[in-house]
Homo-oligomer: A and B are copies of this chain.
Amino acid sequence: MVMKNFADKLVAAIRAKGTPICVGLDPRIEEIPQFLVRAVASEGDYSATMLAAQVIIAFNKAIIDAVHDLVPVVKPQIAFYEVFGEDGIYAYRETLRYARSKGLLTIADAKRNDIGSTAEAYAQAFLGEVSMFDGEEFEVVTPIFEADSLTVTPYLGWDGVKPFLEEAEKYERGVFALVKTSNRSSGDLQDLVMADGRAVYEIMGHYVDSWGADYIGESGYSALGAVVGATYPEEAKKLRAIMPQAFFLVPGYGAQGATAADVAPCFNSDGLGALINNSRGIIYAYKKLEGFGEAAFAQAARAAVLEMREELK
């Protein structure tokens, strides 16, 4: 069936910005410029966790302000927020809210996974809306995170992906399932070879292709995408053929060692089909690029995006 879906929005945003860069918002508190921590601390009498949350919000807003006109998507990794408990989750919601207000699409990188009503609860939180009683027996419905898409881990099979995809569809949102991850030991499970000669990551690719077939949009891409690491270009090439209609979310560029040549196999012949993520290489560019001190961290992030855009051309 053909409809407007998350992938259509993604294609439109990539065309509008002229690049498939995704900026990873991984605010490791020890890498954020210390002047920013001191500035935020001087503004209010915060608990330690709320100070961390406010620092993260200030940092992310500056990065978003500096790059929002250049890139289509940002991807906050929730672990770096969750580590500060409920205050960190507040910072996560604020980050998503601010990115949306600047016209960016968002990927909640949370790698959630579960089944049945448990998966539904996660899906409602990240992609949909939540119902609550208010004590007088009628329902209050409210969105929580309002992310445009969510990463999920498919160890549990279709039961563990379907509830996310169904919730996503209701709100024109999307899901990225892990298929071949960028890390060194991803092969422990993903490269195991079946009796028929195929590796587990290929089978997972076939599943994603088939699970996503009912969720194709006008652009020809499905609302179900796949995470495919840039550090394994040979595997990416095979997966591109197995999942022609899946958008690839590609980690591993930059800090993890992958180059523009490595990510080339992740694209379809239409020049679309992949989002290339860079986290540390952009948001902490002030540590590496010459001519930027820590006070110019946001300008350094912008310069790093412009440089990556050229590399990808």
A residues near B (Cβ < 8 Å) are: 26, 28-30, 34, 37-38, 40-42, 48-49, 51-52, 55, 77, 79-80, 82-87, 89-90, 93, 111-119, 121-122, 124-125, 130-137, 140, 142, 144-145, 153-160, 178, 181, 183-190, 192-195, 197, 200, 203-204, 207
Contact = CB atoms under 8 A, between A and B. Distances in A.
Contact of A90 (B34, B86, B140, B207): B86
A185 B116 CA distance: 11
A189 B118 contact: no
Contacts of A38: 135-136
Given A195-B193, A195-B195, A183 B82 contact: no
Contact of A155 (B42, B87, B153, B159): B153
B135 A40 contact: yes
B158 A185 contact: yes
Contact of A187 (B41, B93, B157, B181): B157
Contacts of A204: 189
Tell me whether chain A's interface is mostly helix, strand or loop, or mixed: helix
Q: Which of A55, A119, A183 is most buried by chain B, counting CB atoms within 10 A of its CB?
A: A183
A216 B75 CA distance: 38
A141 to B, nearest CB: 9
14 contacts: A48-B140, A49-B142, A51-B135, A79-B114, A82-B89, A83-B122, A83-B125, A111-B113, A154-B188, A154-B189, A156-B185, A159-B183, A193-B195, A200-B200
B181 A134 contact: no
Given A86-B93, A132-B52, A115 B183 contact: yes
